[in-house]
Structure formats: structure tokens, C-alpha cells
Amino acid sequence: MDDLIFLGIESSCDDTAAAVVTGDRRILSSVVSSQTTLHADFGGVVPEIAARAHAERLDLAVEQALDQAGLALTDLSGIAVTAGPGLIGGVMSGVMCAKGLAAGSGLPLVGVNHLAGHALTPRLTDGIDFPYLMLLVSGGHCQFLRVDGPDNFTRMGGTIDDAPGEAFDKIARLLALPQPGGPAVQAEAASGDAKRISLPRPLLDRPGCDMSFSGLKTAALRQRDALIAEHGGLRQGDRRDLCAAFQTAVSDVLAEKSRRALAESPVPVLAVAGGVAANTQIRAALEQVAADAGARFLAPPLALCTDNGAMIAWAGIERFRQGHRDDMTLAARPRWPLDRKAQPMLGSGKKGAKA
Ligand code: KG4
Ligand code: ZN
């Protein structure tokens, strides 16, 4: 079945993406149209604006993905689409687009869990076997997963409140930096002194792999206010030091919890995915943890860490190989936990309850 060719469509947050991927792990095209500028004035993703922009751009993204792959719809084996979790208007836009294409072409339709797209990415990039340990760390999610199959995930721990990406975005807003906050905070942190400002490392005193980032955010806000009170404003150096301190605190927490998760993992493989896995300091810290444990470390290239259509096409291929098919009843799901046996985590972020 290695001659499979899938179109993948992604529209669960603020990136409109389409890609064409083959069953033998070749990415023939990957188009990502970011909505960053549309949301810039609002300090975060506005769901209604996102949904409208997806509806307007999806056709074009699909057309470009096919063009760049040099293929027509009739050359494909199937269409995969993110069916959740995410901002419901955007997910619906993608699902409607995919249904239209499937109905018009007669191609099979496969609904994909966005988080499974991230979690299966190391199989696309590195062809690794199941099982493996995955740290999925993004704008709406943060969890350790044992991945045993395309639809077989066991959550080993996760955030009990905010996701790290959400915290990066909030810190950026507090410091008048642009969105998305992660890359902006990373750029400031590059020339900052992480040791000057002291921030907590939440939940490290508790056993297990659960994490918390909400208190860290509040602590950073207090430090910002203290610096403003002291100097009558936030100086450039203060901003850089605060970014460095925050990034280091997140990195320390993720590293220590990864160390514990690896100790519990049945195989010595640590893979990371999701937007926050694009952070250089965090990647380096996790790589060190893996090296210390004698484990293999896998981190996808940056463009495959953040949201993209290729991971959805690939997850679609994996599900298709398992015999999974959807039809016109495929529904958009705002919430869709990967591990259906696990209790929902506490807290609610921009993408709803932590799955
Ligand atoms: O996976 P993703 O593209 O979308 C979600 O599914 O959430 O992740 C987006 C998140 C944003 O919160 C963004 O600030 C964060 O990933 N991010 C980063 C970096 N690049 C993106 N966080 C820290 N450092 C980065 N370099
Ligand atoms: Zn994502």
C-alpha cells in the first residue's frame, strides 16, 4: 500500500494548511497560510475571524498543494482532514471543504485528530516503529503520550492548567511583544540573563509527569510589575531577562518531567512535537535528557512542529491503512482526547479543556 498519496487539510487554529504526502513518507507539497496578521490587533486568535479566513483560503491552499505536487485530485488515494480538536468554526470549514472534495471526486475521506497528527509526525519524518514516548507540547496542549499505534495513545501525564504555548503567548502580550508569543519570547531571550529574575518551577516537587504553567505566568507578571514600579517602565534589558527567565523555567519543567516520563517509558525513545517543540532551548534541554537516559531523541524540523497539512495527510494514511474510512456524517469535534480511557485534565485553555 506504499503507493498511497493523500491530501491533508488542517484548519483547527490559525493556520490554513494543505499538503500532499505519500505512503512511503515523501512530502510532495506543504502549503501553510498563516493568519497571524489578521489577529495581530486582538492579542490572540479570534475564532470568528479564523473560521472566516479558513473558509476563504482553504480552496486556494488545496489548489496550491496539488499544483506544487504536480498532481490532480484524480491522482490521489484519499483525503484526510482535521476533524478536531480545535476552534470549532475552523474545524468545520476544513471538514466541509474535505467532504466537498471527497463527494466530488469519489475519493475516500479520513477524519484525523489534530493531536494524532502531531503525535505521529516522527513516523513520517523518521519512520520510527511503535511504541515510543511523545511529548506533545503546543499552544493548546501539553501531554506525555505512549504511542502504541495510529489510534492507540496512553496519556502518562499532562498540564493541569495552561499549555506552555499559551503561556508563551501570554508572556509576550504582557511584554508588548507580537503574537505568536513563542518565537518573539525566544528572540528576546537570546540576549537575556535567565538567572537575574527568579521564577518558580511548578509541580517539580510532586511525583509523576503532570505539569502546571499558570502559576509561572502569574509569577512572571508580578516580576514584570515589580520591574516597572522600580524603574518607571520596562527597560529593554528587563524584557530580555524576563523572557530568558521564563523560557528557562518552562524548559526546566519540561526537561525534568521528560526525564521521569522516559524512566517510565517501555522504550528508550523520546519524540517531541507541537509548536513549542520549535523552541531551540527547549529542544536542546530535551535532547540532553534523552542523551543522559541513553534514549533516542526525535524532533521534527521546525515547519513540521507547528501546524501543517503534512502531518494530517500522514495521520490519514496511517488510519486508512488500518481500514478507517469516514463518510458524509463526519463531524467536527471541538474536543477529542487522544487517550479515551484517561480522565479529562483540569483547566481550560484557548482550545477548551485539556485533552
Ligand atoms: O502546534 P501549534 O502550531 O498550534 C497548536 O496546535 O497549538 O503551536 C502553536 C504554539 C503557539 O502558542 C506558539 O507561541 C508556540 O507554539 N511556539 C513556540 C515557538 N514557536 C511556536 N513556543 C516557544 N518557542 C518557539 N520557538
Ligand atoms: Zn497543533
Q: Which ligand is nearest to the CA of 34?
A: 1
Give me the residue label for grid cell 476544513.
Answer: 94
Q: Whose atoms come closest to the Cα of 274: which ligand?
A: 1
Sheet (strand 269-273) strand order: 152-158, 142-149, 132-137, 269-273, 296-298
**What is residue 334's predicted lDDT score, i.e. its pLDDT?**
92
113 contacts 74 by C-beta, under 8 angstroms: no
Contacts of 265 (CB under 8 A, 6+ apart): 132, 133, 146, 156, 295
Residue 353, pLDDT score: 43
The environment of the single-atom ion ligand 2, i.e. residues with CB closer than 5 A, is 138, 307
Q: Which of 168, 246, 247 to mutate to test the pocket of ligand 1 (most atoms within 8 A of CB)?
A: 168
Measured in Å, residue 187 CA sits from the centre of ligand 2 at 21
Name the grid cell of 59: 480552496
Q: pLDDT tens digits, residue range 64-99?
A: 999 999 999 999 999 999 999 998 999 999 999 999
What domains appear along the chain, each with residue ranges and CATH number?
A: 5-127+303-349 (3.30.420.40), 132-301 (3.30.420.40)
What secondary structure, in 3-state letters, does the chain show? Answer: CCCCEEEEEECCCCEEEEEEEECCCCEEEEEEEECHHHHHHHCCCCHHHHHHHHHHHHHHHHHHHHHHHCCCHHHCCEEEEEEECCCHHHHHHHHHHHHHHHHHHCCCEEEEEHHHHHHCHHHHHHCCCCCEEEEEECCCCEEEEEEEECCEEEEEEEECCCCHHHHHHHHHHHCCCCCCHHHHHHHHHCCCCCCCCCCCCCCCCCCCCCECCHHHHHHHHHHHHHHHHHHCCCCHHHHHHHHHHHHHHHHHHHHHHHHHHHHHCCCCEEEEECHHHHCHHHHHHHHHHHHHCCCEEECCCHHHHCCCCHHHHHHHHHHHHCCCCECCCCCCCCCCCCCCCCCCCCCEECCEECC
Give the pLDDT of residue 348.
42
285 pocket-lining for ligand 1 (C-beta < 6 Å): no
Q: Is the CB of 274 under 6 A from ligand 1?
A: yes
What ligand 1 atom has the least distance to the C-alpha of 86? 6
For the CA of 32, the nearest ligand: 1
11 Cβ inside 6 Å of ligand 1: no
| 293 contacts 259 by C-beta, under 8 angstroms | yes
Looking at the whole model, is its pTM more than 0.85? yes
pLDDT at residue 352, rounded to an integer: 45
Q: How far is the CA of 110 from the centre of ligand 2 (A)?
A: 18
Residue 145 has phi, psi (to 5 degrees) of -125, 140
For atom 5 of ligand 1, which residue has the closest CA?
A: 139
- State in Å: Cα 174 to ligand 2 middle: 23
Contact (CB, 8 A) for 254 and 165:
no
Nearest CA to ligand 1 atom 19: 182
Ligand 1 site, residue 349, Cβ cutoff 6 A: no
Residue 48: what pLDDT?
Answer: 83
Which grid cell is 321? 491503512
Mutate to test the pocket of ligand 1, among 115, 175, 276 (most ligand atoms within 8 A of CB): 276
Q: Is the CB of 276 under 6 A from ligand 1?
A: yes
Cα atoms in the Cβ-side hemisphere of radius 13 Å centred on 25: 9
Cell of 344: 479529562
Q: What is the bridge-based pairing of β-strands 78-84 and 27-34?
A: unpaired
What integer pLDDT is reported at residue 268 of this predicted model? Answer: 97
Dihedral over Cα of 244, 246, 248, 251: its sign: negative
Contacts of 260 (CB under 8 A, 6+ apart): 207, 208, 209
* Ligand 1 binding pocket includes 139 (Cβ within 6 Å): yes
Atom of ligand 1 lying closest to residue 179 CA:
14
Nearest CA to ligand 1 atom 23: 182
Under 8 Å CB-to-CB from 273, ≥6 apart: which residues?
Answer: 118, 119, 121, 122, 134, 135, 136, 137, 138, 299, 300, 304, 305, 311
**Residue 1, pLDDT score:** 52
- Cα 277 to ligand 1 centroid, rounded to whole Å: 8
pLDDT, tens only, 218-237: 999 999 999 999 999 999 99
- Whether 180 is in the pocket of ligand 1, judged by its Cβ within 6 Å, is yes
* Whether residue 168 has its Cβ less than 6 Å from ligand 1: yes
Look-up of cell digits 501553510: 32
**Ligand 1 atom nearest to CA at 280:** 26
- Distance from the Cα of residue 353 to its chain's centroid: 15
Ranges of the chain with pLDDT below 70:
1, 345-355
Please give the pLDDT value at position 107: 98
